[in-house]
């Protein structure tokens, strides 16, 4: 006979798995993109997921460089770490270097809520459902959003476009839902049928477009 304690323990374990599964973490615990400008790769955007029970750590690394006749004319380096407990964001840190301009964020959940400090904002308590602009989590489209570059609280407009075929780095295409994000920043983002981040497109300072291809 199975005792009541064993049943409760099994129920708790199932609840933990369900809470973790609610976040759109890819099955292989990683996402990788190459960044394409004018047909050439200029960098990589990597996302790694680590689970420990009900705790999820997400590590983000972006490195990009634009050159003119082999001379670097623009650089972008970004590192960020998100910490989740179940479906709750409990920590967020980041460091960004844009052509030598430094930005940072440090957010921690306390009894007040998610307390955010950043290089371009005074201390504030984030709205309950605000999460970082890291794109892997489709729930961010519900807003508001927290900049991983400088901690600013952002309330962009999100418009759903059509489902369309997008290219992967392998050359094949997959169907993905297209969303336009506009206002404090402007990007296009795509998610596949599993709600996994599939692509991104944005215009940079020189007017050219950078498009992501998932590896």
**Least reliable range by pLDDT among 22-26, 71-75, 106-110, 178-182:** 71-75
Mean pLDDT computed over every residue of the chain: 90
Q: Is residue 178 part of a domain?
A: no
| Token pair recorded at residue 155 | 């309330």
Count of domains observed in the chain: 1
Q: Is residue 128 part of a domain?
A: yes
**Structural domain of 53:** 4-155
Q: What's the confidence (pLDDT) of residue 68? A: 76
Q: Is residue 180 part of a domain?
A: no
Helices and strands in the chain, H and E counts? 1, 16
The alpha carbon of 8 is separated from its chain's Cα centroid by a whole number of angstroms, namely: 35
Q: What's the confidence (pLDDT) of residue 5? A: 38
Q: Is residue 138 part of a domain?
A: yes
| Token pair recorded at residue 172 | 């094949």
Q: Is residue 185 part of a domain?
A: no
Buried residues in 28-39 as b, exposed as e (16+ CB within 10 A): eeebebbbbbee
pLDDT in tens, 1-60: 344 333 334 333 333 333 344 899 999 999 999 999 999 999 999 999 999 999 999 999
Name the CA dihedral angle for 118, 124, 127, 129, rounded to a multiple of 10 degrees. Answer: 30
């Amino acid at each position: 006979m199975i005792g009541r304690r064993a049943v409760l323990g099994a129920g708790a374990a199932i609840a933990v798995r369900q809470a973790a599964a609610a976040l759109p973490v890819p099955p292989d615990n990683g996402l990788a993109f190459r960044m394409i400008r004018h047909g050439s790769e200029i960098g990589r955007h990597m996302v790694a997921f680590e689970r420990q029970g009900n705790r999820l750590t997400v590590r983000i690394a972006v490195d990009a460089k634009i050159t003119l006749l082999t001379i670097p004319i623009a650089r972008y380096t970004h590192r960020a770490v998100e910490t989740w407990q179940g479906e709750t964001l409990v920590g967020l840190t980041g460091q960004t270097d844009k052509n030598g301009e430094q930005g940072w964020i440090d957010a921690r959940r306390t009894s007040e809520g998610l307390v955010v400090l950043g290089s371009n904002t005074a201390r504030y308590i984030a709205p309950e459902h605000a999460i970082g602009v890291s794109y892997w989590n489709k729930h961010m489209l519900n807003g508001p959003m927290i900049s991983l570059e400088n901690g600013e609280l952002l309330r962009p407009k999100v418009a759903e476009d059509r489902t369309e075929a997008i290219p992967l780095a392998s050359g094949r295409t997959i169907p993905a839902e297209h969303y336009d994000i506009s206002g404090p920043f402007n990007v296009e983002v795509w998610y596949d049928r599993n709600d996994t981040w599939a692509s991104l497109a944005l215009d940079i300072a020189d007017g050219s477009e950078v498009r992501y291809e998932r590896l």
